Amino acid sequence: MSGNETRDEFPYDEYSAPRRRVTQWLRRIPLARSLGVLIVLVLLYYGAGAAIINKIDADPDFVLQNVAEGGSNAIAAAAALVSREVDENGWTANDPFFMPSAILDNMPNYQQGILKAASRFSVEMMDHIGRIRGTSQIDKDLERAAGLLKYPGNVWVWDPSVSLAPTATSESQYRAAARALLSYNDRLSAGQAVFDKRGDNLMSMLERIASDLGSASAQIDSHILGAGFWLFDTTVDDLFYSTKGQLYGHYILLRELGRDFAPILRERQLDGVWQQMIDSLREGSQLEPLVVIGGSPDALILPNHLTAQGFYLLRARTQLYEVVNILLK
């Protein structure tokens, strides 16, 4: 075949190059379309999935179910809070990257705040209220619950930074802690466990909780002083919801502890001060801004939500110490 015939069969005029580019572009359309569909599906999976899972459960009227007669309302509340966050709402702090909830940060911080309050409560129960003074034996169920509630909240079934073998998840440890608390309560209702309702035991627990609130207040203060421009503050909501979880956890637990210690509160005429402290914790736990902003504390338009939260926190802490001072007399 001659060169002329080749040129006639495959003409290369001024229109051939654009024609080839259009043809190649048309061939790429199915691939581009598939890639676009995949991106949309991924966005829907994470966006819609996270929106469905996300739940900041701060029900101020949280009601306990089936508290055994003779048992502790506060212990039942601690077990119920743990079970609610782990099983009903679903624990999210340790969800792996392929779960929609992995992109959440407010809910995980809130849940871990609640667990921090439950952990503090269980430790004080083990050290003081669940035993007769400091020389008696530590209750095994309370000891187990206190230890398990200290387990990190972000441990999944596999943590290569610790071991290549499967490990116990945060959920499994917290479920075991809830079972231990319920076991203690069952034994308490049967007269086989100790719940020492003395004023000095209550005072010790309140002092530790007040200390925890003081630590949370220091974190808020440090963040406000060290934060930069509010638009680039990506951790203000983490601290806000972690503190919110602590306030809510302490609110529910102290509300029920007040019922357990009702005779002591009436005897020392503490009912009014106690209720004021409970109300402060409740109000602080119910703050729910649409967007958490870390603006200047004296800003007119863009406020700092941590300052409002810190007000209720410090008021509750002051009222806790008022109760402690009255118990000392």
Residue 54 has pLDDT above 80, yes or no: yes
The CA-atom distances, in angstroms, between 107 and each of 53, 79, 290 are 9, 19, 14
Q: In the predicted model, what is the mean pLDDT of residues 25-40? A: 72
Q: Which runs of consecutive H residues, i.e. helices, occur in 149-270?
A: 170-189, 199-226, 236-260, 262-267
Q: What are phi and psi of 304, to 5 degrees?
A: -105, 110
Residue 3 has pLDDT above 50, yes or no: no
Residue 26 has pLDDT above 60, yes or no: no
Do 224 and 297 touch, CB atoms closer than 8 A?
Answer: yes
Tokens 């001024």 locate to 14
pLDDT on residue 90:
95
Residue 92 has pLDDT above 90, yes or no: yes
Q: Which two tokens stand for residue 186?
A: 């069952």
Q: Hey, where are the domains in the chain?
A: 1-45, 69-196, 197-329
pLDDT in tens, 173-220: 999 999 999 999 999 999 999 999 999 999 999 999 999 999 999 999
How does residue 134 score in pLDDT terms, banded at 50, 70 and 90?
A: low
Q: In the predicted model, what is the mean pLDDT of residues 83-100? A: 94
Q: In the predicted model, what is the mean pLDDT of residues 92-111? A: 93
Q: DSSP code of 225?
A: H
Q: In the predicted model, what is the mean pLDDT of residues 130-141? A: 85
The closest of 118, 310, 329, 87 to 217, measured between CA atoms, is: 310
pLDDT in tens, 143-152: 999 999 999 9
